[in-house]
Structure 1
């Protein structure tokens, strides 16, 4: 199956785009590129999700010949809007994605602006709401898995501390399977100010502990709740846990010490959703 007409000329140079910033070099490592306004993502569902929700964010697309049929609507949009794309070999995709798990497509997309916590709260609809505060989570695969679970359970936002470096990367977007487009990221202010703002909006904060907390399946859970999740290795900061309104744990057999943060997040989200 042939692709829609590619707007690139024979030299491989894209047409002029007066409103678009000059893109970083395609050969730049993904982690370097992701520090600017653009991020390089990969994965079929990740790219489809960007196209479905905010196609204007797509700046460039690379794909294998085998993905032409799967991405025909995306390619048609690119051709109609003079967004360059290239059909490349698997080795090129591996280099572009800095990963073997590119699923046949890589895209350079604009990052979505990250609102502050008060702006997010002001726009939040009334009624039951669930959010996740990530306190020190850093692994992009865990982050992607959390985004996927958050999208599945209808989480209102992922809240990130003011100095956190965590952001959507190519690996996180692929693991999220489209969830990175479904759940907004919100930048917190200082911890005390953010807690005050969340409580003023009717939220309770739940520290999630490996042990020592209330059984999350047995205790009532507030209709507006923020789960505060700790880092992969160290767990939750104890001072932050003490400042939360409740502390919950996931009971288990004891055969292993705990679930990893992504698996634990999915269980906790399901526990809250079950009450609704």
Structure 2
């Protein structure tokens, strides 16, 4: 074990291909699925016993790690919600739509999410967590989308970020055409005006198209989908937020496939 070092470690130069993760489950999921992506690890002394497998891997593979104070981690993560561990890692590569479609299992039910304007990192993290729980095969991001995995989103996802790949879509007409050729139906999710979700049949291969947190989905995009669905409720509130709505939508599809 290296000696404790005083002072805040300087942040390494991180480009677009690197990400600063924090939170126990986020770092553990990264280590379980892509240990070779780990570039530097920072942790508090109290976590050394629990982190032994990771630390031994770091030593064997010449990946640096440092035992630091809680306050140092607060600065590195820019939050107190780091749970005692911070890691600099390589981002998972984003897939192209054709590449993702080719890798899907033939003849099997597949669920995906098309995120049209979702931008809040905490909502994104919550969506990733629900997506991992219900077995979503990919998050599809439209052309020009600025959404990318952040440390905050990965922490909220509680490990789900490593389970669900991000997929880059081509132009909307081409993306829809490719998805339909692969047997997918597209369901626009509307705050109101769509068919009752719980009375709707959903195909085994389905893409739910989710709108932005504030303004909702682009109406032209919604009309271009094969069906439009809404989640019924009491009306006591205007709507669910996008992350909560996603969990309801995914559970509906999952339950239908589990019959």
Compute the TM-score of the two structures, normalised by the length of structure 2.
Answer: 0.95
Specify the alignment match of 2:66 in structure 1. 86
Return the match for 1:247 from 207, 214, 228.
228
- Aligned counterparts of 2:97 and 2:247: Cα–Cα separation in 1: 23
Specify the alignment match of 2:214 in structure 1. 233
- Aligned counterparts of 2:232 and 2:219: Cα–Cα separation in 1: 20
Return the match for 2:81 from 75, 90, 101.
101
Specify the alignment match of 2:114 in structure 1. 133
Q: CA shift at 1:120, angstroms?
A: 0.5
- Aligned counterparts of 2:18 and 2:200: Cα–Cα separation in 1: 43
SS of match in other structure, 2:249 = helix
Specify the alignment match of 1:39 in structure 2. 19
**Cα gap change, 1:71/1:214 in structure 2, threshold over 3 Å: closer, same or farther?**
same
SS of match in other structure, 2:198 = coil
SS of match in other structure, 1:62 = strand
Listed as ranges, the matches of 1:160-179 within 5 Å are: 160-179=141-160
Number of aligned residue pairs: 255
- Aligned counterparts of 1:67 and 1:244: Cα–Cα separation in 2: 49
Specify the alignment match of 2:168 in structure 1. 187
Specify the alignment match of 2:126 in structure 1. 145
- Aligned counterparts of 1:88 and 1:252: Cα–Cα separation in 2: 49
- Aligned counterparts of 1:244 and 1:229: Cα–Cα separation in 2: 11
SS of match in other structure, 1:217 = helix
For structure 1, list consecutive stretches of 5 or more residues without a partner in the other structure. Answer: 13-24
Report whether the alignment pairs 1:118 with 2:98: yes
SS of match in other structure, 1:96 = helix
Specify the alignment match of 1:19 in structure 2. none
- Aligned counterparts of 2:82 and 2:10: Cα–Cα separation in 1: 15
Specify the alignment match of 1:56 in structure 2. 36
Report whether the alignment pairs 1:260 with 2:241: yes
Return the match for 1:271 from 243, 252, 258.
252
Q: CA RMSD in A?
A: 1.9
Q: CA shift at 1:69, angstroms?
A: 1.9
Specify the alignment match of 2:11 in structure 1. 27
Compute the TM-score of the two structures, normalised by the length of structure 1.
Answer: 0.89
